[in-house]
Structure 1
Amino acid sequence: MSTSSVSKGCFVFKPSAKKRKTHSLESYFRHGCESAESSETRFRLCQDLWDKIKTDTEILQDELNRKILDSLLDFTRKCSSTRQHSDWTSQMRASEIPTAALVLGVNVPDHDMTFQSLSDLLRQSVTPHVTSVQAKECGALKHLMKKVLERLMDTVVDDDDDDEGESERPQLQKSVHCSLSTLCDWYAAKTTKSSSGTPGKKRSSPAKDEQLQQPPVVIIFKDLEAFNPRVLQDFILICSRYIDRLPLMFIFGIATSPSTIQHMLPHSVSSLLCIELFQSLSCTQHLATVIDKLVLTSHFPFKLNGKVMQVLISLFLYHDFSVRNFIKGIQLALLEHFHSQPLSVLCCKKKEALHNVTQLSQKDLIKLKDLPSFTRYLEKQEPQEQVNLTEDAHLKEVCQNLIKGLHKYHKNYYPTLRCLHTLTSSLPRYPLGKQIRELHLICLEKNVWENEDYQSAMKLLKMLAKDELIASLQRCLEILQPVKSKKMKKACVQLEELLAKFKQLDTAAAEMTDNADDSFTSPVKNLQKKTDLFQLQKTLLEMNETRRSKKMSPFEILRNEALEFIDSLVKNHLSPPESQPLHEVCYYTSSATVRRHLNATPRTCIQAALSRPFYYLQNDKLKTEDGSVSNAAPDICIAYKLHLECGRLINLYDWLEAYATVVSAAEGHDPDSDSQGKVDEVKHARFIRAVSELEFLGFIKSTRQKTDHVARLTWGGC
């Protein structure tokens, strides 16, 4: 497999099929997995759970995009039927190209899924001639034309500058000329062929048949802002000349604002487009729906603790607004949890979890006893019970009861959370957050009823009007009714009784108001008399006591009763997960791992590699005790360490001499000899290469202040 070449090059030798080794996903999962004997079960549970989450996510995203996609389909059908009938010229000029401006938002990673769904729906119900292009593959007009023709016609398109490639192309593979006239001829042949049909087949109605004969040609520009404006302008001008022969339609994918079209296209070009605006659901609403359906539910046993949730939400809000990346973060946490937690075999449906408890090994039971939550549970038990828990059979039985309690906790937690959010989400200044995810994070940290914001929210709820309070309680009842839990059913009965009492308040309140008016005499009348200072003070005290002793109205009594019911519901079911024994089997807590994988810091990693090359190269000669770099380290590591000892400007000659001294010591020269620190051609070349690599990595840059100096772009030590 040797090669000979005049010039230097890189040659790739592909391994033979016999030598290739295929590794299953399960084998990768087992690598470095704790408690490898249960890794097969954990991998199966992880895969099943992720498949379920992925399926539900895709269904949810289809539902969220359904409205905007249906609007786009109606637009394409309307434009297609309009063009084929006499009202084409009455509604739009003959040279105008129907264009849909689809504003999707700045969450660019999510756009591919939307465009894929749109393309599939268009092919199924409107036209088979649909293609999409991206800016990175259309740097010039000929590239754009070539991509459009190749994807629509499914053939090879000749490029005028590719004569050499044309000569090397196999003769059996036909090619066509890169022009829209070629596309028009192909479209005419396609429509004529489809209109002829098969012999003996019954033809449909003329209008419907005509509509099927001339389906539109839809071109989707996925990232309009990234396109070269000049390329886009020329393409639109060319397409407008063929609109009478080719029923073209454009769909512009816009991430920022519809005004982008006016900024990119002059009026002479934009006037050739008949533009209609379509606005998709905002990414924040999309995230709220995903969290509501995937995270705040008891259907999935896997959970995230508060810190991990905060990391994922922060990455969403401050980096990319991508719901797709948020779901990828959940997938990462799911994989890490099942890979690193041996007791994650219990993170599944209740019936399967109870069965897996009976299959726990002696080693797993020891790890179960070491869980902090189980240790706290054990400390609260009686001495005799603590002794009994040393037996494996009794320990498994208790573990099954704790797993049942954990599932009951989740079944009651989320309905109660929604009820509290329903009551507090409309309060002034949103003391417990406007979004339910904010309230969820508060509840994950500590007892929410001990929070000052909770106390202020309850005070504000005591000021709610009757209609607002009844409407909120009615929504709470609708939340609790579908829950199949004894405690939630009991809460539903109490809530129904409260609502029935509210309905009977009108007549009772009127009677009590009349009685209160007859029996109440205000001390203010006594102030009309002439009195001294002592008498005035006595009268004011009587007024204050009367105001305090004033009886509350029936509505106020009932309102306090309703809020006490909500408060008891919160205190019973909204305790943080850490209060539940064995919560570690379901909750993933390593926020640092998620942040390290999803929010990478390449500069920090590069600096760590240059400062401590031993941990990357695993060479014993590079190992040092004090954290300094060995003189046997790679040249770039030595140059990097020396540059940290310099100021803002680095003298290249001094830097070279210091480098030569370190390298000479590594080569074993005597420090007192004349050759020590001597710069030869090889050391000079190695130093230049190391400096060039540091400049490429962004640690230094050339400066005009001094010709033989470079500017340092880092600060501090390693």
Structure 2
Amino acid sequence: MGYSINVTSEEEGNVQLTQKKPHCSMDSLTSWYMSTTQKTDPKLPRKKRTTSSQWQFPPVVLILKDLESFTTKVLQDFIIISSQHLHEFPLILIFGIATSPIVIHRLLPHAVSSLLCIELFQSLSCKEHLTTVLDKLLLTTQFPFKLSEKVLQILTNIFLYHDFSIQNFIKGLQLSLLEHFYSEPLSVLCCNVVEAKRRVSFLSDNQCENIRRLASFRRHVEKQGSEKQVALLTNEIFLKEEIQLLLENLHVYHTNYFLILRCLHKFTSSLPKYPLGRQIRELYCMCLEKNIWDSEEYASALQLLSMLAKDELITILKKCCKVFKSSEEQLDSTAKRIEEFLVQFQGLDEAKEEENTSGSQSKGFQKTDLYHLQKSLLELKELRRTSKKQSKFEILREKVVNFIDSLVREYLLPPETQPLHEVVYFSAAHTLREHLNAAPRIALHTALNNPYYYLKNEALKSEEGCIPNVAPDICIAYKLHLECSRLINLVDWSEAFATVVTAAEQMDANSLTSEERNEIIHARFIRAVSELELLGFIKPTKQKTDHVARLTWGGC
């Protein structure tokens, strides 16, 4: 750790370890460590460890993902052997614990655990990792590929309600990317703006026609004048120039979209009951689905924003300033406007201090007895009741809320409103669901009813309704049980099975007696019935001892 090891030398070391796998030991690991550190920095003198937390050379880190699954004796021996070689190379063990840190003392006796310098730490939650992945891959203009609301919802639902696996989420994202570039002919334009504009000039006539067929482009053409409509539909050169302009506008749209999305998230992520969600992915899904300002949650969020205290509002505005300063591409006027609001809030504080000082000076010689104090309170209550005039802070807060609302309505339009959004957005949620959400009942029925679909054996081809006699036993038993009612007679089922199977084994009839052949067929039938019971197609019934109950109905 901490040393830049060449890939070639690392691969050579791996090859050597692979070749000497039967002779792997701590001595071989020690020699590899010494050779690696000397090659990397031969000038450093070789010294032993000075303290328990400092080494002259970087440590070797070994990660044991699931500590509870290791054999106790093997783990103990490994720790003891490793401790004896600490003077040769430093070693750090990272234990992945799924239950509680107490499990270390349960697995290791005191003599072994005393050899460890144990420090506890907790990794980030999987939800935070998901937020990081979305922030680095989707909520940025660095990568043009995007997901529609339904596709993103499928991936996040699988993550949150099934496995909590970031690796599976990334695989689903990779599958979406593959499907988009495989099924969408215009995905050739799904790249950075400069490269996409260059590729537009090389579009073929068929690709131009595909662009004209896009629903978003047709809506764009309908909004144009009659002369421009004719040019877009007939002139290829004019069409390509328009496509380049639309692709550039789409990039600007995404840049502004993600900035305002992050700004809105800063305002709404700390509101009570989180009307627009606590995580930015929740807000992002809502914005992808529809006009967010038409939802009740957004109206509730605006009401809560209009009741924020001054300190909270200033803190949120400072966070928004950081968001806009982090991106130097667009919306400079918006960032300046937010800075102006901050200056105005600071001006309110200064004006309030001046009023307090002037008021104290003017009223310093007034009587402060109980009578005058009660009279002042009554006058103040009467003034508040008769005139509900807003304070300067309330007026400024209302301006901030209206400003944020105007930004949302201007920049957080759904992607479907943008021309050529189909080029970068993958929206085939049905295809993704078929790949990721398993349908075992359909797959089992297909495999048992038509084994050729998976086995690709020409002998298994048969006409619809026929049972091939060379099919696997479970397939024969399954197709026979489809012809029965709710209760299946095992004797009739067995005879039908024997009739089908015997037709396939007539050539071997001379080598076996009839009794031996019947016993083998009977055993095969029992095994096929047991497998069907294990798969959940049939179950024993108490109504009749020689019958089984069918648990499925219909064709599948």
| Fold equivalence (TM over 0.5) | yes
Structure 2 equivalent of residue 563 of structure 1 = 401
Aligned residues of 2:461 and 2:468 also touching (Cα < 8 A): yes
Q: Does 1:390 align with 2:223?
A: no
Cα deviation, residue 703, structure 1 = 8.9
- Structure 1 gaps of 5+ residues are 1-119, 130-149, 158-174, 177-181, 519-523, 529-542, 668-678
Aligned residues of 2:80 and 2:112 also touching (Cα < 8 A): no
Aligned mates of 2:162, 2:450 — CA distance in 1: 30
Q: Deviations over 1:96-120 (max 9, x none)?
A: xxxxxxxxxxxxxxxxxxxxxxxx5
Structure 1 equivalent of residue 510 of structure 2 = none
Aligned mates of 1:403, 1:237 — CA distance in 2: 59
Q: Kindly tell me: are residues 691 and 359 of structure 1, through their superposed partners in 2, closer, same or farther at Cα, counting changes over 3 Å?
A: same
Aligned residues of 2:275 and 2:298 also touching (Cα < 8 A): yes
Aligned mates of 1:599, 1:478 — CA distance in 2: 40
Aligned mates of 1:464, 1:313 — CA distance in 2: 32
Aligned residues of 1:650 and 1:712 also touching (Cα < 8 A): yes
Aligned mates of 2:536, 2:75 — CA distance in 1: 35
Structure 1 equivalent of residue 151 of structure 2 = 308
Cα deviation, residue 418, structure 1 = 0.2
Aligned mates of 1:475, 1:465 — CA distance in 2: 16
223, 240, 259: which one aligns with 1:415: 259
Cα deviation, residue 156, structure 1 = 5.1
- Structure 2 gaps of 5+ residues are 364-373, 506-516
Aligned mates of 2:521, 2:494 — CA distance in 1: 9
AA paired with 1:622? S
Q: Does 1:504 align with 2:344?
A: no
Q: Deviations over 1:248-267 (max 9, x none)?
A: 85442323432332443456
SS in 2 for 1:278: coil
262, 277, 284: which one aligns with 1:433: 277
Structure 2 equivalent of residue 632 of structure 1 = 468
Q: What are the residue-to-residue correspondences of 1:302-381 with 2, within 5 Å? A: 302-381=145-224
Aligned mates of 2:104, 2:187 — CA distance in 1: 52
Q: Deviations over 1:346-404 (max 9, x none)?
A: 11111111122222211112211211111222232333332222212222222222112
Aligned mates of 1:707, 1:280 — CA distance in 2: 57
Cα deviation, residue 482, structure 1 = 4.0
Structure 2 equivalent of residue 261 of structure 1 = 104
Aligned residues of 2:49 and 2:87 also touching (Cα < 8 A): no
Q: What are the residue-to-residue correspondences of 1:439-450 with 2, within 5 Å? A: 439-450=283-294
Cα deviation, residue 449, structure 1 = 0.7
AA paired with 1:227? F
Aligned mates of 1:665, 1:555 — CA distance in 2: 93
AA paired with 2:462? L
Q: Kindly tell me: are residues 636 and 508 of structure 1, through their superposed partners in 2, closer, same or farther at Cα, counting changes over 3 Å?
A: same
Q: Kindly tell me: are residues 349 and 551 of structure 1, through their superposed partners in 2, closer, same or farther at Cα, counting changes over 3 Å?
A: same
Q: Deviations over 1:400-433 (max 9, x none)?
A: 2211211111010000000000001000011101
Q: Does 1:452 align with 2:279?
A: no
Aligned residues of 2:83 and 2:115 also touching (Cα < 8 A): no
Cα deviation, residue 333, structure 1 = 1.1
Cα deviation, residue 601, structure 1 = 3.9
Q: Does 1:622 align with 2:462?
A: yes
Aligned mates of 1:216, 1:511 — CA distance in 2: 62
What count of residue pairs does the alignment treat as equivalent? 509
Structure 1 equivalent of residue 65 of structure 2 = 222
Aligned residues of 1:621 and 1:630 also touching (Cα < 8 A): no
Q: Kindly tell me: are residues 638 and 245 of structure 1, through their superposed partners in 2, closer, same or farther at Cα, counting changes over 3 Å?
A: same
Aligned mates of 1:207, 1:274 — CA distance in 2: 18
Cα deviation, residue 584, structure 1 = 0.2
Q: Deviations over 1:565-620 (max 9, x none)?
A: 11110001001100101100000011222233334344541223323556555979
Q: Kindly tell me: are residues 152 and 273 of structure 1, through their superposed partners in 2, closer, same or farther at Cα, counting changes over 3 Å?
A: farther
Q: Kindly tell me: are residues 607 and 564 of structure 1, through their superposed partners in 2, closer, same or farther at Cα, counting changes over 3 Å?
A: same
Deviates more, 1:421-430 or 1:614-623: 614-623
Deviates more, 1:220-229 or 1:361-370: 220-229
AA paired with 2:424? C
Aligned mates of 2:186, 2:290 — CA distance in 1: 25
Q: Does 1:641 align with 2:479?
A: yes
AA paired with 1:492? A
Q: What are the residue-to-residue correspondences of 1:476-491 with 2, within 5 Å? A: 476-485=320-329, 488-491=331-334
Q: Kindly tell me: are residues 382 and 204 of structure 1, through their superposed partners in 2, closer, same or farther at Cα, counting changes over 3 Å?
A: closer
Q: Kindly tell me: are residues 357 and 156 of structure 1, through their superposed partners in 2, closer, same or farther at Cα, counting changes over 3 Å?
A: closer
Aligned mates of 1:236, 1:483 — CA distance in 2: 51
User: Which TM-score applies when normalising by structure 1?
Assistant: 0.61
Q: Deviations over 1:435-484 (max 9, x none)?
A: 10110000000011111101100000011111111111121122123434
Aligned mates of 1:244, 1:354 — CA distance in 2: 59
Q: Deviations over 1:598-645 (max 9, x none)?
A: 343445412233235565559796353xxxx43337353342133356
Structure 2 equivalent of residue 608 of structure 1 = 446
AA paired with 2:400? A
Structure 2 equivalent of residue 475 of structure 1 = 319
Q: Kindly tell me: are residues 236 and 591 of structure 1, through their superposed partners in 2, closer, same or farther at Cα, counting changes over 3 Å?
A: same
Aligned residues of 1:427 and 1:460 also touching (Cα < 8 A): yes
SS in 1 for 2:390: coil
Aligned residues of 2:293 and 2:409 also touching (Cα < 8 A): yes
Q: Kindly tell me: are residues 229 and 650 of structure 1, through their superposed partners in 2, closer, same or farther at Cα, counting changes over 3 Å?
A: farther
Structure 2 equivalent of residue 289 of structure 1 = 132
Q: Kindly tell me: are residues 592 and 354 of structure 1, through their superposed partners in 2, closer, same or farther at Cα, counting changes over 3 Å?
A: same
SS in 2 for 1:428: coil
Aligned residues of 1:417 and 1:440 also touching (Cα < 8 A): yes
Aligned residues of 1:632 and 1:663 also touching (Cα < 8 A): no
AA paired with 1:317? L
AA paired with 1:275? I
Task: Let me know the Cα RMSD of the aligned residues.
Answer: 4.6
Structure 1 equivalent of residue 490 of structure 2 = 652
Cα deviation, residue 325, structure 1 = 2.4
User: Which TM-score applies when normalising by structure 2?
Assistant: 0.76
Aligned mates of 1:706, 1:122 — CA distance in 2: 74
